[in-house]
Chains A and B, each alone.
Chain A
Amino acid sequence: MIDKIAYIVYNMLRLLLFVYKSDRKAGGIQKMRMRADMEKGQKKRTGLQILTGVLGAALLVGGVWQGEYAVTLNKAIHICLECIGIG
């Protein structure tokens, strides 16, 4: 009788251990997926950052080259009547 109970308890413990291990494995897979998603997101973000940086620098240089710095300067050294609520 005791043998049978011990056998049942032993199998139940094995079952519990199996469930626990599978759960951890599933969690691990989920974490791995999360990490992969994060890395994918990070790569996408880095790509966007490079694109924005290159585009921004190109536009800035292009703007200075076509004389927009002088245009901005010309506007800014005169009182902007609209800005102060006159014009």
Chain B
Amino acid sequence: MDKGSRLPFRRKCIQLAAALLYNANIKGFQNAEIYKGPLKGMCVPGLNCYSCPGAVAACPLGTLQNALSSIRYRIPMYILGIFLLSGLFLGRVICGFLCPFGLLQELMYKIPLPKLKKNKITRSLCWLKYLILGIFVLSIPIYMGIWNGMPVPAFCKYICPAGTLEGGLVLVAGNAGLRKLAGGLFTWKVVLLLLILFSMMVLYRSFCRFLCPLGAIYSLFAKISILGIRVDENKCSGCQACVRHCRLDVKKPGDRECIQCGSCMDVCTAGAICRKKVRKENM
């Protein structure tokens, strides 16, 4: 077994370890109660709802929206600092290795159903996540925070399937008080969750590619992130085997759509794709 072929297995192990680490409060699932310890003030880099009974830390997207809601009182320095440092060191390596929702999407894709391959339409749909980031994560929380003085985490409220799956369903099922409160919004979120879960079965990482604003934020760091993959232009023959092999809408390994999983390293006959850490040795 060569180094390249062990990579998918290693990646799955890291993804699973990250998912378990983010949701280490197993007792919470039994009692349908969330963890209330001091660690909850920290943010994990991946998408993991802090209202999940298992969550031991905060969700970066939820924290960002709440911080933006109170922008008229203070600049959200803490969460911006976390995003800058996570983006700089890891970038979209987080999507490929450290996101529990990413792992779920990859497992759902293994369900044997007819699959849709990437095409021009999926490539265009990738811009949708930037629109969601702009409207639901940035604009609405800022607008509601400044003019109405009330925090509205619009992405969490109207879209986030992670919140519905990890938090909503578990808490509503286990808590009679919350069950009584569940109404039209909950129904909307469950329907959306089911649609997204179905799309995951036919389209590889559909939520990640088209809807996830966290991926959109980390994609902005693609060129400067310290970890990840890169193409050695001197060795590259331009055969495009890597792009054809990749199930995401990449134009080149390591670009903004690339989740840095490194599966293209196996198919590159010229050996032009490598991890960024070996850069100086090659030059």
Residue numbers of A with Cβ under 8 A of B are 34, 38, 45, 48-49, 52-53, 55-64, 66, 68-73, 75-77, 79-87
Contact = CB atoms under 8 A, between A and B. Distances in A.
A63 B74 CA distance: 9
B113 interface: no
A79 B78 contact: no
Interface stretch (B61-69, B117-125, B240-248, B267-275): B61-69
B77 A68 contact: yes
Given A62-B81, A83-B156, A77 B172 contact: no
A59 B168 contact: no
Nearest to B190: A85
Contacts of A66: 74, 77
B81 A69 contact: no
B186 interface: yes
Interface in B213-268: 221, 223-224, 226, 233-234
3 tightest A-B contacts by CB? A63-B78, A60-B81, A56-B84
A63 to B, nearest CB: 3
Nearest to A80: B51
Contacts of B176: none
Interface of B: 34-38, 40-43, 49-51, 57-59, 62-63, 66-67, 70, 74, 76-85, 87-88, 152-153, 156-157, 160, 163-164, 167-168, 171-172, 178, 181-183, 185-186, 188-190, 221, 223-224, 226, 233-234
Given A45-B223, A52-B224, A83 B49 contact: yes
Chain A residues touching B, majority SS? helix
Given A68-B77, A82-B156, A85-B182, A56 B51 contact: no
